């Protein structure tokens, strides 16, 4: 699965870089040469949609999604695992339903055959990210469910406070830094 992790991260990095370059090019063309690329906004919208749909599975993988887990943290480890497994099951069901819905939607877009507004590409091509993104999300929730069932994880979320404290104690001289003082 390491190749999938790298591919996911590579796609995210590419999309961020591409969005930045297209936006920069549009700004330079508009304000420097009084010219505008008619396709720039639509292309960035497609890139942003891909970023969201690939990024949501990445967020599950690294535990970066936000959530309220105050009550779950007050449960014991066994009960927290039960709640995490139930939450994983619900998230899996949600992701599977949306994967199927994305496939149905994509088939309809393919059948209609209309082009994007500013780019001469059929609309179903950029929207293929819907079933792909939700399928990847399904895979990430299945991985998380497996870890919960094996006892390797007790929550779906990361612990930002613990990560911040770890980062703070790993930094030499952090307590002496001027920005660390109140």
Question: What number of other Cβ atoms are within 10 A of residue 51's Cβ?
Answer: 21
pTM above 0.85, yes or no: no
Q: Is residue 30 part of a domain?
A: yes
* pLDDT number for residue 80: 76
Q: Is residue 174 part of a domain?
A: no
Whether residue 73 contacts residue 80, with contact meaning beta carbons closer than 8 Å, is answered with: yes
Q: Is residue 77 part of a domain?
A: yes
Count the domains in the chain.
1
Q: Is residue 172 part of a domain?
A: no
Domain span including residue 154: 2-164
* pLDDT number for residue 47: 96
Taking the C-alpha atoms of residue 125 and residue 94, their distance in angstroms, rounded to an integer, is 24
Q: Is residue 178 part of a domain?
A: no
Tell me which DSSP letter residue 123 carries.
T
| Strand extents, DSSP E, the chain | none
Q: Which pair of structure tokens corresponds to residue 27?
A: 């700004």
Tell me which DSSP letter residue 152 carries.
S
Q: Is residue 158 part of a domain?
A: yes
> How confident is the model over 76-104, as pLDDT tens digits?
778 878 888 888 899 999 999 999 999 99
């Amino acid at each position: 699965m390491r190749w999938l992790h790298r591919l996911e991260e590579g796609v995210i990095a590419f999309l961020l870089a591409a969005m930045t370059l297209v936006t920069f090019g549009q700004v330079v063309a508009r304000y420097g040469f009084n010219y505008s690329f008619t396709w720039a906004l639509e292309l960035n919208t497609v890139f942003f949609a891909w970023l969201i749909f690939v990024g949501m599975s990445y967020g599950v993988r690294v535990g970066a999604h936000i959530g309220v887990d105050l009550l779950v943290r007050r449960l014991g480890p066994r009960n927290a695992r039960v709640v995490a497994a139930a939450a994983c099951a619900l998230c899996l069901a949600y992701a599977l339903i949306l994967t199927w819905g994305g496939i149905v939607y994509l088939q309809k877009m393919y059948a209609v055959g209309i082009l994007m507004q500013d780019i001469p590409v059929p609309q179903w091509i950029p929207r293929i990210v819907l079933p792909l993104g939700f399928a990847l999300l399904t895979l990430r929730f299945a991985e998380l469910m497996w870890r919960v069932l094996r006892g390797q994880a007790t929550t779906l979320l990361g612990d930002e406070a613990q990560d911040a404290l770890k980062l703070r104690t790993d930094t030499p001289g952090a307590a002496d830094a001027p920005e660390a003082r109140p």
